Structure 1
Amino acid sequence: MEAFLVSTLAVAVGEIGDKTQLLALLLAARYRKPIPIVLGILVATLANHSLAGLFGQWVVSYFSPDILRWLLGASFIAIAMWTLKPDEMDDAGIKEGQLGVFLLTCVTFFFAEIGDKTQLATVALAAKYSNLSLVIAGTTLGMLIADVPAVFLGKVASPNFPFHYVRWFAAFVFAVLGLLVLLNVGSF
């Protein structure tokens, strides 16, 4: 259960102000079809984070526990620093075309998430916890917790949302996770 809760929290706070959350705002403002956008986010996240989780589990088999602990701790601290940099997203080139809003969302979210901090967090969490299903379920729920409100609120709330405070909180959470791993505290 710890894997699920930590994964959910890490991705939910890490996603606030992220480019994929901004993409959710953009799609919602442009197409005003929240259900296919939310379903597209769900499918894209499950696919992307499943691949990331499998990669994280594969990494575990190639490194000793001590090296893995240092790699994971450093990864979380690097993600903490990355979280402080605001993401930007413009809407150039995003067109519904014949794909439909659902498929457009699936494709754009899947590719926008490649190399993103929440995908890298999923790799690290899957390397940390042996229960891949709980990690993927947690990271997917965390993504939905952050992105679904963005879809339903669209551009109305985004200009007034204090993203900078949330980024600092997210950076703090990732830094604490990194330090706990490095210091080998508790089950970390």
Structure 2
Amino acid sequence: MDTFIQALLLVVIAEMGDKTQLLAMAMASKYKIKEVLSGVLIATIFNHGLAVAVGSYLSSLISMKIVNIAAAISFLIFGLWTLRGDKIDGENSNRSRFGPIVTVIIAFFLAEMGDKTQLMTITISAKGNEPILTFIGTTLGMIIADGIGIIGGAWIYKHIPDKYIKWAAGGIFIFFGTFSIYNTSSSWMLHPIYIIMYIIVLSIFIYLLGVKFSYSNKSS
């Protein structure tokens, strides 16, 4: 059950402000909400089913210590990725010759390939080694997050600046990544010098990706 809760919460956080959530919101402006949610659900089932299978396969080949270290690094990457932000390619917003649900399935599936929520699903599946709970948790997390984006997104993004949402979500991932690194580090790595170096390097990356080269700054 811990795996299910972790998968659900982390994917909900990761999806907030993500390009696939923005894509779902854009689709909802053209199609009915139930059509968009149906398309998102089907695309997520296929996409995260693939991700869970990959994660389960990796967990059978790699030791848990390596998996935990990789997961910690992944969380840091997810956090920095979130701070930088995403953009939606213009071609995704064009109308399709397919029906609404098929259009959403294709667009959402392609947008989710290689996205941080898919990579996170692979990570959680490899670390938790509970594929069914991971699949259900991440799929439900996507539906909740995209449902929020579709139904309440207009209000959220009207009253809460996008940068605050991204910084809050990014900060949560960086915290989880740092905490996981602390738990998996050897005692000699917890020397104050190494901790200070870690904080400095992390701060530089946060500035570069969250401020200097963020998509929000490019679009402003």
Q: Deviations over 1:90-131 (max 9, x none)?
A: 543544444211011111111100110111111111011121
Structure with more contact order per residue of length (Cα contacts < 8 Å, sep ≥ 6):
1
**Corresponding letter in the other structure for 2:6:** V
More helix by share: 2
**Corresponding letter in the other structure for 2:8:** T
Aligned-residue offset at 1:25: 1.2
**What are the within-5 Å matches in structure 2 for residues 106-117 of structure 1?**
106-117=105-116
Aligned-residue offset at 1:156: 6.2
- CA distance in 2 between partners of 1:115 and 1:124 (Å): 13
Change (3 A) 1:179 1:157: closer
Contact kept? 2:59, 2:129, Cα under 8 Å: no
- CA distance in 2 between partners of 1:2 and 1:154 (Å): 28
1:63 match: secondary structure: coil
- CA distance in 2 between partners of 1:170 and 1:110 (Å): 23
Give the TM-score normalised by structure 2: 0.76
Contact kept? 1:76, 1:178, Cα under 8 Å: yes
- CA distance in 2 between partners of 1:127 and 1:93 (Å): 31
**Corresponding letter in the other structure for 1:166:** I
Structure 2 unmatched ranges of 5 or more: 185-220
- CA distance in 1 between partners of 2:26 and 2:157 (Å): 10
Give the TM-score normalised by structure 1: 0.88
- CA distance in 1 between partners of 2:145 and 2:119 (Å): 17
1:115 match: secondary structure: coil
Contact kept? 1:80, 1:172, Cα under 8 Å: yes
Q: What number of residue pairs does the alignment pair up?
A: 184
- Report the equivalent of 1:77: 76
- Report the equivalent of 1:51: 50
Aligned-residue offset at 1:154: 6.3
**What are the within-5 Å matches in structure 2 for residues 24-63 of structure 1?**
24-29=24-29, 31-63=30-62
- CA distance in 2 between partners of 1:183 and 1:127 (Å): 20
**What are the within-5 Å matches in structure 2 for residues 1-188 of structure 1?**
1-29=1-29, 31-92=30-91, 94-153=93-152, 158-184=157-183
1:99 match: secondary structure: coil
- CA distance in 1 between partners of 2:157 and 2:25 (Å): 8
Q: Percent identity?
A: 36
